[in-house]
Amino acid sequence: MILLWYPEVLVVKKLSMTASSTSRETFCYLLIPDKGFTRLLTLPADEGETLPMVVLGDFDQWYDVSPIVQAARTLLDKPVTVLSCLGWQDDPDEPYNVTAYALDALEGYSGSGRWCRQSEISAVNPVQRPILKAWFDWVNNSSALRPPWYKPGWSQRALAWVDQNLNRLGYRGFGEPQITQIRARSRACVYRIDTSAGRLYFKAVPEMFRQEPRLSRWLNEGFPKRTPRIMALNEEEGWMLIRDFGRETLEQCPDEDCIRKSLSAFGAMQAQLTVDMEAIRALGVPERRLSTIIGEIDSFAAEIPASYPDLFTASDYALLRDALPLLKQMCLDLEELGIPHSLEHGDFSLEHVVVSEGGQEVFFDWANATISHPFFSYCTFSDKLRDSYPALTGETEQSLADEYLRHWRSFADETALSQALIVARPLAALHQALLYHGRILPWIEAKWEMEPALTYYLRKLMEHLRRLEG
């Protein structure tokens, strides 16, 4: 999609964001329906009608909807709720990004414009007609896989539950809370709740991650300084109210000493959890043991080239097929090294570690967690750390690995632990790719949202395989 014109009257420039001179702006179309979800708001423009639009600078995470909510409220003079991002264009050959957001119904709007029916799309600027058509198709063809927060009216019901718990917990006694929607994607919807008594977060997860609230509460009972405190829980809905546990992640404020302490604390936590597998299993956490990888890898290797024919060359896919016996043997070798299975985070990285005000490293976002080989968490963290810091020295990497491994010395000697970490590296990428391919993506309607994660781990797997081949 190529944007041909730029109606200045509709633009909110870099609202509460700072754009550098080289930053790319993002044109954000707002798809705002009437109460019946049969018409969309369009505004007058020089060339036909136009969708409302805001322009943001330095906006590169489509699921971070707080700038959209704030800009749309300024533009329309009405509070809005984002249902879903319907698409994101990030073309390096264009000077801007383009995206479109479906909003919940806008009631009481008295500004300019009119409500456009599906039969009247031709009155809208030709460039935008595919966007309107996509919205009407999206509304008229709801999938069973669509998460509840992508549907009209869900936010009122969810926020009523939040309000009830604010009253129960005593937060209402400190004035009216300020509630801001900050995330909207298939894997979660998140609101930030600011009160004079402190900040909380409301998080909703889909059916496939319904174990996360239970697991998060259970972990906080055992590790109150290492995991967020869950203030309220609705297991049936997949809702949780979380007390603020820190503002800056290690990704936002990286520090080598904090990274080392985080890996040490996480390794200690996993080692302690090895005796709690029955309890973790009872919470609904799925098992992804090494034997599971062996059982799934053949079909995975057969399906991936057909699903992503342009991701790798034919020779790369041949390398994957040829490596299947080796990968299976590596699973067996890793099993024989005697490291017990534990809780595997599923997405352990700098962005999922916060240093609290008390100086404790706090681990959060357990949606992808499984019972699997614990070293997969370290290997995923290590791969992403190297992506962020390519100049990381081998000496630093080794010291980080040593800090993590020292908590596993009661299970194996140092030689076996080091060997296990080497063997686990390619298997960690394979484990994550299998997780997305078989357990996550099949249950997501908007697969484009999560496919980049699968392709990332596929690329990591191929990198490791090429190293093994070399």
CATH number of this structure's domain 151-243: 3.30.200.20
Residue 470: Cβ within 10 Å count: 5
333-358 in b/e burial notation, b at 16+ Cβ within 10 A?
ebbebebebbbbbbbbbbebbbbeee
Look up the pTM and report it: 0.92
Indicate the SS3 state at residue 54.
Answer: strand
Choose among 39, 208, 206, 218: nearest CA to 120: 39
Q: In this structure, which topology does domain 8-140 adopt according to CATH?
A: Nucleoside Triphosphate Pyrophosphohydrolase (3.90.79)
pLDDT at 23: 63
- Strand intervals (E) in 118-268: 178-185, 188-195, 198-204, 230-234, 239-243
Indicate the SS3 state at residue 41.
Answer: strand
Examine domains 8-140 and 151-243 and report if their fold is the same.
no
Structural domain boundaries in the chain: 8-140, 151-243, 256-469
pLDDT at 186: 97
Q: Which long-range contacts (CB under 8 A, 24 or more apart) does 317-323 make?
A: 319/462, 319/465, 319/466, 319/469, 320/461, 320/462, 320/465, 323/465, 323/468, 323/469
Parallel, antiparallel, or unpaired for β 53-57 and 188-195?
unpaired
What angle, 0 to 180 degrees and rounded to 10, lies between the N-to-C axes of helices 375-388 and 414-435?
80
**CATH match of 256-469 with 3.40.50.20:** no
pLDDT at 379: 98
pLDDT in tens, the chain (470 residues): 333 232 322 333 222 222 333 468 899 999 999 999 999 999 998 878 999 999 998 888 999 999 999 999 998 888 999 999 998 887 777 788 899 999 999 888 888 899 999 999 999 999 899 999 999 999 999 899 999 999 999 999 999 999 999 999 998 766 789 999 999 999 999 999 999 889 999 999 999 999 999 999 999 999 999 999 999 999 999 999 999 999 889 988 888 899 999 999 999 999 999 999 999 999 999 999 999 999 999 999 999 999 889 889 999 999 999 999 999 999 999 999 999 999 999 999 999 999 888 888 999 999 999 999 999 999 999 999 999 999 999 999 999 999 999 999 999 999 999 999 999 999 999 999 999 999 999 999 999 999 999 999 999 999 999 998 86
